[in-house]
């Protein structure tokens, strides 16, 4: 839990060091406390990720922090809650401590020994839904069908077309994209790699989406092996290579020429270690390592060096391993088995599992997971065997610490995408919907209003009128912090061709 902990300074270090932030009186006696600790045993039947039916029970009500933020108090000068009791006062008098005790307020997650990975979880789960979009006829049977670029564009493969749009705008591009099997934006967000399986041959096309609003196709590159489609592809961190995974398990690395260069793309190297269709390819945060997984549960970790791979280790899973690299720790990767659900944090250099979680009940399966790039929280998607229970999105700060639970989809959640700034999360399910979550609870509309109010000059002698205007705009009252109502919009079918549709979706 993320509850705040308070610690007493010396010289009274023999008193209980930690207090909770709830309104519960301290209960202890030295003999009873020691006897209780010696006789207590952990409950082995408790699963930390099995949620109760009462919504919001895991949330921490940090009264002191919330009230200080609301009242604008300074921690070093202002105090609102006192946790001193008769026992502590008597000990202070006995030791001739005449000054009041100083308290150190610190969240427990700053104690890195209690965390499984480097993480800065949110103080309180404040995420909410910004919008829900319908994605009719999206290619759900492929593995890399949607991507969110660093330039803010979202690209998705539908039945016979590729749709590229920017959230919160009216501009949308529809292109003919029949037989497209996988897509991926480059790190700069101005080029889109498209895998096409046409005439029973795998092709690679590089689409320029940065300079032309309609997109410009490059020259098609025929790849080997023949008769096998490209099931998954991604770019390396430099944007010079595209790594392609095939249906037969082969990995091909294609060196992509610059936009203005006349040199054609060339295949740098090939690797044949997987025995089945590759479903995921991801690089570590600095592109030192790369991991690949196939649909029979085999995962390989590679060392990457300028278009060349060297195998490091192999992870055998019982069923479809999902994985993601830590956002700022180069050597740490989280690997999850779908059924039975197990989540392991693996350290590449030491070749050992740092932490591990196994679900006791076989009532659900894991479908995908992803790290938040800002907080380091791990987002894990679950689907239950009971069809009446909707899928859930769990946010973890460690293997035994659930930060938040989000639910909106009606079917399996297969894809998780992060906005370029890491503030928004997009979840795509088999129910053909895309949900955009405001992960950190910062409303873009309220932020714009706040900046606008800060830029407006304040008129002398008209404080009452200006305060009333502020209240009407939602910036000077608590109503300005209310959550945005969910907007469910249908993605308009874009006509085939290279015409740009300027319609709201």
Distance CA 117, CA 172 (A): 39
Contact 167, 152 (CB under 8 A): yes
Three-state secondary-structure class, residue 85: coil
Distances (CA, A) of 409 to 281, 383, 393: 25, 10, 10
Residue 488: inside a domain = no
Q: Which residues are bridge partners to 5 per DSSP? A: 106
Residue 356: inside a domain = yes
Three-state secondary-structure class, residue 33: helix
Looking at the 3D structure of the chain, how many domains does it have? 1
The dihedral built from the CA positions of residue 104, 106, 110 and 113, taken in this order, carries a sign that is positive
- Angle (CA) 178 183 189, round 5°: 130
Neighbours of 424 (CB within 10 A): 21
Residue 337: inside a domain = yes
Give the predicted TM-score (pTM) of the model: 0.71
Contact 252, 223 (CB under 8 A): yes
Tell me the DSSP string of 140-173. TTSSB-EEE-TTS-EEEE-SSEEEEE-TTSS-EE
Residue 72: inside a domain = no
| pLDDT at residue 173 in the model | 87
| pLDDT at residue 466 in the model | 41
Residue 165: inside a domain = yes
CA 190, distance to chain mean position in Å, is 23
Distance CA 502, CA 473 (A): 29
Indicate which CATH number applies to the domain containing 343.
2.130.10.10
10-residue stretch averages of pLDDT, the chain, 505 residues long: 41 42 42 40 60 51 60 62 58 56 47 75 83 89 93 92 89 88 95 94 91 67 91 95 96 87 75 95 97 94 95 88 94 92 93 89 91 95 89 91 89 94 94 93 62 52 40 37 34 36 33
Residue 77: inside a domain = no
Task: Let me know if 64 is exposed, middle or buried by CB neighbors in 10 A (0-12, 13-18, 19+).
Answer: middle
| pLDDT at residue 30 in the model | 39
Alpha helices in 13-107 (DSSP H): 30-39, 63-71, 86-94
Integer Rg of the chain from CA: 27
Neighbours of 285 (CB within 10 A): 17
Residue 319: inside a domain = yes
- Percent of the chain that is helix, strand, coil (3-state, to 5): 10, 40, 50
Residue 469: inside a domain = no
E strand or H helix that includes residue 433: strand 433-438
Show the domain range for 341.
Answer: 128-443
Per the listing, tokens 């009940």 go with 361
| pLDDT at residue 93 in the model | 62
Cβ-proximal residues to 119 (8 Å cutoff; 6+ apart), any chain: 109, 375, 376, 377, 397, 398
């Amino acid at each position: 839990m993320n509850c705040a902990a308070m610690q007493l300074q010396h010289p009274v270090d023999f008193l209980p060091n930690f207090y909770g932030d709830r309104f519960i009186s301290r209960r202890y006696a030295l003999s009873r406390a020691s006897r209780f600790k010696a006789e207590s045993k952990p409950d082995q039947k408790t699963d930390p990720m099995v949620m109760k039916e009462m919504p919001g029970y895991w949330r921490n009500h940090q009264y002191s922090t919330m009230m200080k933020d609301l009242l604008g108090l300074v921690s070093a000068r202002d105090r609102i809650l006192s946790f001193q009791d008769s026992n502590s006062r008597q000990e202070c008098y006995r030791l001739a401590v005449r000054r009041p005790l100083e308290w150190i307020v610190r969240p427990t997650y700053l104690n890195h020994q209690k965390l499984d990975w480097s993480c800065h979880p949110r103080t309180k789960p404040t995420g909410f839904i910004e919008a829900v979009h319908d994605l009719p006829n999206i290619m759900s049977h492929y593995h890399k069908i949607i991507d969110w670029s660093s330039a803010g564009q979202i690209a998705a493969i539908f039945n016979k077309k590729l749709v590229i749009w920017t959230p919160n705008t009216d501009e949308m591009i529809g292109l003919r994209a029949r037989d497209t099997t996988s897509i991926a934006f480059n790190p700069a967000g101005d080029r889109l790699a498209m895998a096409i399986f046409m005439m029973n041959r795998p092709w690679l096309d590089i689409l320029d989406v940065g300079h032309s609003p309609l997109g410009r196709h490059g020259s098609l590159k025929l790849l080997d092996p023949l008769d096998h489609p490209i099931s998954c592809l991604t770019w390396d961190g430099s944007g010079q290579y595209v790594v392609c995974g095939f249906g037969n398990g082969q990995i091909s690395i294609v060196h992509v020429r610059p936009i203005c260069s006349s040199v054609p793309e060339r295949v740098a190297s090939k690797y044949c270690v997987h025995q089945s269709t590759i479903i995921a390819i991801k690089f570590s945060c600095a592109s030192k390592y790369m991991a690949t997984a196939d649909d029979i549960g085999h995962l390989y970790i590679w060392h990457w060096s300028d278009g060349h791979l060297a195998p490091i280790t192999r992870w055998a899973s019982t069923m479809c391993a999902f994985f993601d690299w830590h956002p700022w720790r180069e050597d740490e990767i989280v690997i999850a088995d779908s059924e039975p659900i197990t989540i392991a944090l693996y350290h590449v250099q030491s070749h050992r599992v740092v932490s591990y979680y196994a679900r006791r009940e076989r009532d659900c399966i894991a479908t995908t997971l992803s790290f938040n790039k800002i907080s380091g929280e791990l987002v894990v998607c679950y689907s239950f065997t009971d069809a009446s229970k909707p899928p859930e999105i769990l946010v973890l700060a460690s293997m035994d610490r659930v930060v938040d639970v989000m639910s909106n989809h009606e079917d399996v959640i297969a894809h998780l995408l992060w906005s370029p700034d890491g503030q928004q999360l997009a979840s795509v399910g088999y129910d053909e919907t895309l949900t955009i979550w405001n992960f950190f609870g910062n409303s873009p509309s309220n932020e714009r209003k706040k900046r606008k109010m800060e830029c407006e000059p304040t008129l002398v002698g008209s404080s009452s009128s200006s305060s009333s205007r502020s209240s009407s705009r939602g910036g000077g009252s608590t109503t300005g912090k209310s959550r945005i109502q969910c907007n469910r919009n249908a993605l308009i079918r874009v006509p085939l061709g290279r015409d740009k549709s300027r319609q709201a979706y």
